[in-house]
Structure 1
Amino acid sequence: MKMAIARLHCISPEAVQQYGWPHFLTLRGNAVLGAPWTAKGSLDALGSLRWTAAPATRHPNVTGQILAGFLHQATTAVAAAPLPVAGRTESADADLIEARASDVAAFWLTGDPLTAYQFARAELDLITTLLGEPRGHPAWSRLLLAAAHHADLCAVITGILGDYAAAERYSMLAVRTAASAGSVPHTAFTMAELAAGHARGKDPRDAFVVNAATRSVIPRPAPRLSAVLSANEAQAQARLGNTNATLRALDSAAGALTAGTGDGPLWCVVDEQWLSHSRGEAMYALGLHSKALEHFDHLLKDAPSPPFTTQPPLYTALALQLATRVQLQLGEIDAAVHTARRTAALFHRMPSGLAQRERRMFEPHRRVPSVREFLEFHAEATGV
């Protein structure tokens, strides 16, 4: 019976054996997980994003044994990939794709995140078309790495905006394409982003599994990546209620930053401000709300507005919304309204995911005059 169901959903017998019933059904309709780790499998995984939509969820869906199996396949793939040859394959297509990837990355640091997402999404479609040429593409690995770059950015944006199902699929696609291209640095950095999503998921222990896979790929990570891995651990430990382990992990992240910034395709600026936001989020998860607010102080000062920040707008908005939540829980209603206005000032039009989250936070306080006034302004400014 199990095999018949597997055949119906185009799931291999090997996957049935590896994952068992009913876990192998997670692969159903999910080429990112289920397609073989071959050139055609990579193309199928990329192509599936064009047609497959999943309901938005509050947490990652792929956990436990399925997640561990995916990570094993990724680490095996990157280890088995041939070493890069000297120089690179000449390709006008790849030159143009890589130049545009750099442009999107630069735009992301200061521009509208939804515009960055639309550009990245369009580039993924174009890369899929180029890789699908009947004779393949001479710059296959370069295009796969560009796909990993854009998929990783799409994962960050959709995750912050609250569509965790999309973020998870983009993040796993980024890991898959980076590993299939044989790039150790890109595989490690995309795994770090995947771990960040799981650290905030329904089972934070999954983040430890992803972190371990990342360190198996790159045992001596550069300082910036090392800081991110430690911060992932801190967020997971905080959600598990382990205060001492959280503080140790945050100290490790701080120690890594003192060793230098390092290089790598991360979408946040890993610096003291980033670390302060990480500390604030962890303190909040531990229930230490007043302590959490201290770590967002640099965003809450009266001038300038919007605040000076080293982070991309969407990361700054995420930190400000957490500060707003803390202020509301501490009964500092007018201060929360002030902070929410600073969040709105970051965007010409606030993305709907952020706008909906903000409205949900303030609705219980609608009877307060300043809140009622803000919600009217908010509806007009965002359409939510």
Structure 2
Amino acid sequence: MIDTRSAVLLHPLAFVREQLGMGKMQFATAVRRHGERLGHHLGTTRSTIYKWERGDHAPDAVTQLVIADYLHSSGLRVSVEALGQKPWPLWLPAWEDQVIAAPWTQRSTLEALTALGSEPVDRRGFIGISGAALAGIGTQWATADPALAAATKGDQITSRTVDRMAVRIESIRAMEQDTGGVDFLDSARADLELLTRMISNSRYTDDIGKRLYTLAAEVCCLLGWMSYDAGLQAAAQKNYTTSLRAAKTANDDMLGAHTLCFMATQASNHQEQRAAVGLMESASSVSGRVPPAMQSSLAAHETTVLCKAGEHKRAAQALNRAFSALERASDDRPAYLRWFGESQLRSTEGRFLLATGQAGRATDALEKSVTHAAPRDQAVRCGTLALAYQRAGDLDGALDATERAIKALSTGIHTQRGVQRLQEVSKALAGHRSEPRVKEARAHIASLAAA
């Protein structure tokens, strides 16, 4: 049997089986027999359980009812009513209670890193933690005590080795900005696995250990972002959560707050507005002790979250703070924050203006944001720019921006966010479907979405 915390990180059903002391075959047999008692003839096998836990398939509605009833009869906290509130596997009694409840210690961080590196690719399009529990992660991170244990046996890790790992991670970050992160997920996972082995098996000073955990946090945050960009929402959330633990173990509050910003953005884009605001409040708790560049980033993310939550006045105030802090910022910043600058802030401004009914002004800000953006970001922002032109009544401008986005996504840039943005554009242009250019653009968008 695997460790219980590792099991839940692999898949909630793996944790449930661990709680019951069952292997895949035992669980499949128990579900079949329970189904027969309820009048259902199921074909559940060990292979079926394997595919469920890989994310290849989900049990049908009848099978889920049988599983819920079986777990309830086995003494686990689950009810049939839970099935109507959350999709599979989120209703299983595992993820929120156990992963979030894990102590914020070096041991728990290492367990999370190890499990994260061994889990299968996420095929689900939803995030795993929701509501108050999601917001609570930020509160836990903000109040947890960091801990660095004594080094274990193995080779001595030197600062030169850590420097080399930092260069590897920075190269992945640079490449994903050029073409999108989906092509580099395996490379980042390999680096995370290497870092985890170094942390687990090697000897190093406390300072080197802190750097190793910092790099692990950076890789997890980067993996979270790349997964999010590829539409792998649950994987993104798991990586972000593990990044928070590693950052706390390294006592790096700035990196932890950086990760919380991305978690808040993801939550906001998945209708978890209250949780998103809570995550940003936790992130902003460090604003008084971080440099201006990070203050600007915090305020920019706060702008996005507040705008999504309909708090436009507070969002405008946050946007003003972001621009003010950026004016004071220097180029001396950590590698994970080098992407943030005027281009990103103009994108935030453009999206705020668009959301508040100022489409004409939004086009100016978004054009500036596209000019100096990384190729991957250009592909996404051109879609937003097209929406702004469409709402401003400029069909030619909307089509020009759409064609720029289509060209980028058709020539080597991979970002699910970019495709989804273009699908919004296609819907917005539906009223002009008889126009030849519109018809052609919508056909290209449909082709990209189907790929």
**CA drift at 1:349:** 2.2
CA contact (8 A) 1:325 1:361 kept: yes
Report the 3-state secondary structure (helix = DSSP H, G, I; strand = E; otherwise coil) of the residue aligned with 2:245. helix
Q: How far apart are 1:41 and its partner, in Å?
A: 2.1
> Aligned letter for 2:398?
A
Q: Report what 2:211 is aligned to.
A: 142
Partner of 1:321: 383
Note the C-alpha offset of 1:360.
Answer: 5.5
Q: How far is 1:275 from its partner?
A: 1.7
> How far apart, CA to CA, are the structure 2 residues paired with 1:214 and 1:356?
28
Q: Is the 8 A contact 1:26 1:62 kept in 2?
A: no
CA drift of 1:382 comes to: 8.2
SS at match of 1:125: helix
Aligned residue runs from structure 1 range 227-306, under 5 A: 227-261=296-330, 263-267=333-337, 269-298=339-368
Specify which of 173, 183, 190 is matched with residue 105 of structure 1.
Answer: 173
| Partner SS state of residue 247, structure 2 | helix
Is it true that 1:362 corresponds to 2:426 in the alignment? yes
Residues 1:373 and 1:69: Cα distance change in structure 2 (over 3 Å): closer
Deviation track 1:14-65 (CA, whole Å, cap 9, x = no partner) reads: xxxxxx998997872577535443333223312333325555446x543443
1:230·1:252 contact (CA, 8 Å) conserved in 2? yes
Q: Which amino acid aligns with 1:81?
A: A
Counterparts of 1:349 and 1:41, CA distance in 2: 39
Contact 1:200 1:235 in 2 (8 A): no
Please show how residues 115-126 of structure 1 align to structure 2 within 5 Å.
115-126=183-194
Q: Percent identity?
A: 22
Contact 2:312 2:356 (C-alpha < 8 Å) held by counterparts = yes
Taking a change above 3 Å as real, the CA distance of residues 164 and 248 of structure 1, as seen in their structure-2 partners, is: same
Does the residue aligned with 1:62 lie in a helix, a strand or coil? Answer: coil
1:218–1:334 CA distance, 2 compared to 1 (3 A): closer
Distance 1:315 1:267, change over 3 A: farther
Pairing of 1:124-273 with structure 2 (within 5 A):
124-133=192-201, 138=204, 140-217=209-286, 219-261=288-330, 263-267=333-337, 269-273=339-343
Q: 1:39 to 1:26 in 2, by over 3 A?
A: farther
The whole-number CA distance in structure 1 between the counterparts of 2:233 and 2:338 is: 18
Moved more, 359-368 or 190-199: 359-368
Shift of 1:281: 0.9
Over aligned residues, Cα RMSD in angstroms? 3.8
Measured at CA, do residues 227 and 76 of structure 1 come closer, stay the same or move farther in structure 2, by a change above 3 Å?
same
Q: 5+ residue gaps in structure 2?
A: 1-12, 20-77, 151-155
- Following TM superposition, by how much is the alpha carbon of 1:368 offset from its aligned partner in structure 2, in angstroms? 2.7
Q: CA deviation at 1:95?
A: 4.2
One-letter amino acid of the structure 2 residue matched with residue 47 of structure 1: T
- Write the distance in 2 (CA, Å) between the matches of 1:275 and 1:379: 30
One-letter amino acid of the structure 1 residue matched with residue 212 of structure 2: L
Q: Scaled by the length of structure 2, what TM-score is found?
A: 0.67
In the alignment of these two chains, the number of paired residues is 358
After TM superposition, give the deviation of residue 218 of structure 1 in Å. 5.6
Cα gap change, 1:323/1:308 in structure 2, threshold over 3 Å: closer, same or farther? closer
Letter in 1 for 2:257: A
Range with bigger deviation, 204-213 or 220-229: 204-213
Matched residue, 1:17: none
CA positional deviation for 1:155: 2.0
The 1:285–1:62 alpha-carbon spacing in structure 2 relative to 1, beyond 3 Å, is farther
Residue 319 of structure 1: how far off its partner (Å) = 1.7
Cα–Cα, structure 1 residues 296 and 356, in superposed 2: closer, same or farther, change >3 Å?
Answer: closer
TM-score, length of structure 1 as denominator length? 0.77
Tell me how far apart the structure 1 counterparts of residues 263 and 420 of structure 2 sit (CA, whole Å).
24
- In the alignment, is the contact (CA less than 8 A) between 1:191 and 1:211 conserved in 2? yes
CA deviation after TM superposition for structure 1 residue 89, in Å? 5.3
Question: Offset of 1:277 from its aligned partner?
Answer: 0.9
> Structure 2: how far apart are the matches of 1:103 and 1:41?
29
Deviation at 1:199, TM superposition (A): 4.0
Contact 1:155 1:170 in 2 (8 A): yes
For residues 288 and 210 of structure 1, do their structure 2 counterparts lie closer, same or farther at Cα, with a shift above 3 Å needed? Answer: same
- Whether 1:28 and 2:94 are equivalent positions in the alignment is yes
The runs of 5 or more residues in structure 1 that have no matched partner are 12-19, 300-306
